[in-house]
Amino acid sequence: MKKLTTLILVLLVVLVAVPFTSAQDNTLILGRAVDATGLDPHTQTAFASLRLLELIYEPLVTTDQDLNLIPVLATDWSFSDDGLTLTFNLREGVTFHDGSAFTAEDVIATFERILDEETASAAATNYASIESMEAPDDLTVVFTLSTPDAPIVSAMASTNAVILSSDVIASEDPALVTVGTGPFMLENWTPDDSTSLTANPDWWGEGPFVDGIEIRIIPDEASILAALRAGTIDFALLNDPLVATLLIGDDSIDLYRTPTLSYNVLQLRAAVEPLDILEVRQAISCAIDRQEVIDTAALGEGVVTGPLTMASFALPTDELFCYEKNLDMARELLATAGMEDGFTLPVIVANAEPPTASSIAQNIQSQLAEIGITVEIESLEFGTYVDRWLGGDFTAAVALNGGRIDPYTMYSRYWQVDARFQETAGYLDDTLDQLMKAGQAETDEAARYEIFAEFQQHLAETSPWIWLYSGYTYTAAQPYVTGWTPNASDALYFLSAVQVDK
Amino acid sequence: MAAENTVTLALRPTWRTLAANFWKERGAVIGGVIIAFFLVVGLLGLIGLTPYPVVEQHAIDRLSAPDSTYLFGTDQFGRDVASRVMKGTANSLQVALLSVAISTLAGTALGSISGYVGGLLDNVIMRLMDIIFAFPGLLLALLIVTILGPGLDNTILAISIVYTPIFARVARGQVISVKEKDYVLAARALGKRDWMILVRHILPNIASVMIVQVTLALSWALITEAGLSFLGLGTQQPEPSLGLMLSSNRALAEIAPWLILYPGGAIMLMVLGFNLLGDGLRDLLDPQGRGR
């Protein structure tokens, strides 16, 4: 009898609880393969983390579909004539998720945190010219710069520069407490399983039009595709061109293909023998048909790229050193270096992130075999790969690195003295360092273009890295999901404009 | 007791009658033929007698369907699938054969010593085996490979460890059942050394049971190897393995089904072959099962 009573009680609880736990109809269910690795927006570098955090936090400015800067928490900004003072007017009536008001004090606390070495912020190099900050009133911030810094505003269009609440910075750990100003609020994060976000009812912008977003981690992209087709998810992020291209010609699912600023690259560490010899690196560059890499590894889904991927600065690749495969030249270069018998080149690669990495490595292996270079592929679990990449503990690496709308911001962490990832880059010369410094200080558009044209040619010729191609990112949605505009900087921020009408 | 023993002994087939009866056991014959076929295919793959070198990329011919140039089609790099299936078969069989050989040797040695000596040693060895046996096979293999790192050698080691206990158990049971038999007692009465008795008198009498176990273990080992490679922990790219071919090409299955069909089919047929052979041999060697 007692058992029966317990049973009935349990059943009652289940019956009552079920309607509350099931997802509401107007919640966007989003599937993706990789989960965030952490929640502190200033230190996270993994794409997977940024995709979550950009829903919760907002920077001062961001980029629109055409990569133009648009205001977010700032309404407008201006440089003084000498380029040493940068003033931001801030948006009025913005509140954090905890209800506190957004003021200039939060902006100052945020950038103090980013510049604090103890934070180990991912993008600190980009704001190194900030000398001091002050707030004449609650909605104005004035940055005083040590040197003219043209790209600093576009550098702020980054999830690594989102504004945190000064209260949280003072008394909490931003890796644990997520209080942003963004369109969605984090309700629950179960790592590698699911994340629930609810709409921020007090968001300053127009929207969000859904009640919330439920992110489901489905580790295999083929399974994400199956879930889309079965209708169990509304929206999906896809990275694997092999999977995404299956949706081309499928009328029941909308596929959005967006060119990206990120680039696939074979990083050579010139600090390691025999890659310290210029001709050896150049030979590798000349021996690789980049289009073949795209055709085999990504089924043709990508475009050959030089060091710069943004249309406003990128040189045509035929103006770059050895972008046409030339085996004779490659062999000659190896002979000049005294390496005509070839050598063994160990290459690290992450086993599934991005999904094309292993295939890129295999095609390069096959191509370099033609000039006698034996590529030894070391396939690593993603976490191990990132550790070794950050520590510069490799000879060569196949990598997918993020791009920015400004060339200085894109490479400041690699190609200058004291750059954060100098060890990972593995190469530096005076010309590179000077070009970067000149590109940062120069404000004239045409002059900057010239500086970065030389920068690209210099990088291609010294070949510290072999730039391969830029791929696409794919988002896929059910036809009843409307209002989505994919963005080249991959930002999910614009999910705030999406409507779901099942 | 004595009468029973005589009966059992009389019914135990000799190696000669076994060979004669083998051809009547249809399942065993089919299984044997399948395995022989794959052994030849694997051998050709191993010595490099494949239509194309296994890692050679023909970028222009990538993802071409099976035709007269590429019998089983090509993958996304334009590598010949037929050649890769051949080498993959060789790799898979190599892992299966080597690891089962190791676990047979280790398991039989441990099990027969345990069963023959008995007492505390028996307890220690068998409890140790029980601990290993308590883990599901693939899970334990995964754990071992994760610790040791991926690669062919470690896969062999992992599978050997996983399948040692089953051989130890079978061997021990068999040794216990024959060690009190008259011929063993007689040998002992003649003052033969223990290890001589084990090797000369006991092992040959339990061999038939072990052989059945070996064929069945081979099919499990094949599946475990395929599973480990599928998860990226066995054979490493660009070296082919049947399991790895399945996992790296599964996204392409929709547009290029031949990438999945042939390696998958090879695994299926080989496992079927070993199972048929094992089942057939069991029927053949099991005294109780005679004359059904």
Q: What is the pLDDT of residue B20?
A: 78
Q: Give the integer Cα–Cα distance in Å for A187 and A132.
A: 36
Q: What is the pLDDT of residue B256?
A: 92
Q: What is the pLDDT of residue B287?
A: 61
Least CB–CB distance from A296: residue in B59, B250, B251: B59
Residue A204 has pLDDT above 90, yes or no: yes
Least confident range from A31-35, A120-124, A176-180, B6-10: namely B6-10
B191 CB-contact burial (10 Å; exposed 0-12 / middle 13-18 / buried 19+): exposed
The secondary structure element, H or E, covering residue B64 is none
**Contact between B34 and B272 (Cβ < 8 Å):** yes
Shortest CA gap A240–chain B (Å):
9
Q: What is the pLDDT of residue B59?
A: 86
A411-431 pLDDT tens trace: 988 998 888 888 899 999 999
CATH topology of domain A263-470: Dipeptide-binding Protein; domain 3 (3.10.105)
Q: What is the pLDDT of residue A446?
A: 93
Partnered with residue A239 across adjacent β-strands are none
Are B78 and A379 within 8 A, CB to CB? no
Q: Give the integer Cα–Cα distance in Å for A227 and A25.
A: 17
Least CB–CB distance from A365: residue in B238, B251, B255: B238
A440 touches B at CB < 8 Å = no
Using 50, 70 and 90 to split pLDDT, how confident is the model at A468? Answer: very high
Are B57 and A296 within 8 A, CB to CB? yes
A290 neighbourhood in chain B, CB within 8 Å: none
> Where does CATH 3.90.76.10 sit in chain A?
58-167
B209-245 pLDDT tens trace: 898 899 999 999 999 999 988 887 887 778 898 998 9
Are B62 and A363 within 8 A, CB to CB? no
A292 touches B at CB < 8 Å = yes
Q: What is the pLDDT of residue A10?
A: 60
Domains (ranges, CATH) in chain B? 23-53+77-289 (1.10.3720.10)
B254 neighbourhood in chain A, CB within 8 Å: 246
B150 neighbourhood in chain A, CB within 8 Å: 379
- C-alpha count within 13 angstroms, C-beta hemisphere, residue A205: 21
Q: What is the pLDDT of residue A32?
A: 93
Residue A291 has pLDDT above 80, yes or no: yes
Share of chain B above pLDDT 70, in %: 92
Q: Kindly state the average pLDDT of the residues B1-8.
A: 44
Q: What is the pLDDT of residue B2?
A: 43
Shortest CA gap A36–chain B (Å):
22
A301 touches B at CB < 8 Å = no
Q: Kindly state the average pLDDT of the residues A226-235.
A: 94
Shortest CA gap A474–chain B (Å):
15
Shortest CA gap A262–chain B (Å):
23
Residue B288 has pLDDT above 50, yes or no: yes
Write down the mean pLDDT value for chain A: 90
A164-175 pLDDT tens trace: 999 999 998 999
Share of chain B above pLDDT 90, in %: 52
Q: What is the pLDDT of residue A65?
A: 84
A244 touches B at CB < 8 Å = no
Least CB–CB distance from A242: residue in B55, B238, B251: B251
Write down the mean pLDDT value for chain B: 87
In chain B, which residue's Cα lies nearest the Cα of A360? Answer: B77
Q: Give the integer Cα–Cα distance in Å for A413 and A421.
A: 5
Cis, peptide link before residue A148, omega less than 30° from 0 = no
In chain B, which residue's Cα lies nearest the Cα of A241? Answer: B251
Residue B291 has pLDDT above 50, yes or no: no
Are A296 and B236 within 8 A, CB to CB? no
Q: Kindly state the average pLDDT of the residues A452-468.
A: 96
Interface test with B, best of A220, A248, A290, A292 (most B CBs within 10 A): A292
Residue B3 has pLDDT above 50, yes or no: no
Are A362 and B237 within 8 A, CB to CB? yes
Least CB–CB distance from A362: residue in B63, B77, B150: B77
Q: Give the integer Cα–Cα distance in Å for B244 and B54.
A: 14
> Where does CATH 3.10.105.10 sit in chain A?
263-470
Using 50, 70 and 90 to split pLDDT, how confident is the model at A1? Answer: low
Residue A331 has pLDDT above 90, yes or no: yes
Are B57 and A222 within 8 A, CB to CB? no
Residue B152 has pLDDT above 90, yes or no: no
3-class DSSP state for residue A241? helix
Q: Give the integer Cα–Cα distance in Å for B179 and B188.
A: 10
Least confident range from A45-49, A368-372, B158-162, B255-259: namely A45-49
**Could you identify the residue written with the tokens 């179960």?**
A190
B186-208 pLDDT tens trace: 988 998 888 888 888 888 888 88
Least CB–CB distance from B237: residue in A221, A352, A377: A377
Using 50, 70 and 90 to split pLDDT, how confident is the model at B150? Answer: confident
Q: Give the integer Cα–Cα distance in Å for A148 and A85.
A: 9
Q: Kindly state the average pLDDT of the residues B147-166.
A: 91
> Where does CATH 3.40.190.10 sit in chain A?
24-37+182-259+473-500
What's the DSSP call for residue B53? -
Q: What is the pLDDT of residue A381?
A: 82
Q: What is the pLDDT of residue B13?
A: 57
Residue A101 has pLDDT above 50, yes or no: yes
Shortest CA gap B60–chain A (Å):
9
Q: What is the pLDDT of residue A12?
A: 59
Residue A193 has pLDDT above 80, yes or no: yes
Are B62 and A359 within 8 A, CB to CB? no
Kindly report the CATH class assigned to A24-37+182-259+473-500: alpha beta
Using 50, 70 and 90 to split pLDDT, how confident is the model at A364? Answer: very high
Are B248 and A366 within 8 A, CB to CB? no
Residue B4 has pLDDT above 50, yes or no: no
**Contact between B233 and B201 (Cβ < 8 Å):** no
Q: What is the pLDDT of residue B10?
A: 43
Question: What is the Rg, in whole angstroms, of the alpha carbon atoms belonging to chain A?
Answer: 24
Q: Kindly state the average pLDDT of the residues A443-465.
A: 94
Q: What is the pLDDT of residue B14?
A: 66
Using 50, 70 and 90 to split pLDDT, how confident is the model at B9? Answer: very low
Q: Kindly state the average pLDDT of the residues B266-288.
A: 87
Least CB–CB distance from A296: residue in B62, B250, B254: B62
Comparing CA positions, the residue from A144, A141, A146, A117 lying closest to residue A129 is: A146
Q: Kindly state the average pLDDT of the residues B41-62.
A: 91
Q: Give the integer Cα–Cα distance in Å for A71 and A64.
A: 10
**Contact between B235 and B54 (Cβ < 8 Å):** no
CATH 3.90.76.10 at A58-167, yes or no: yes
Q: Kindly state the average pLDDT of the residues A180-208.
A: 93
B97-131 pLDDT tens trace: 999 999 999 999 999 999 999 999 999 999 999 99
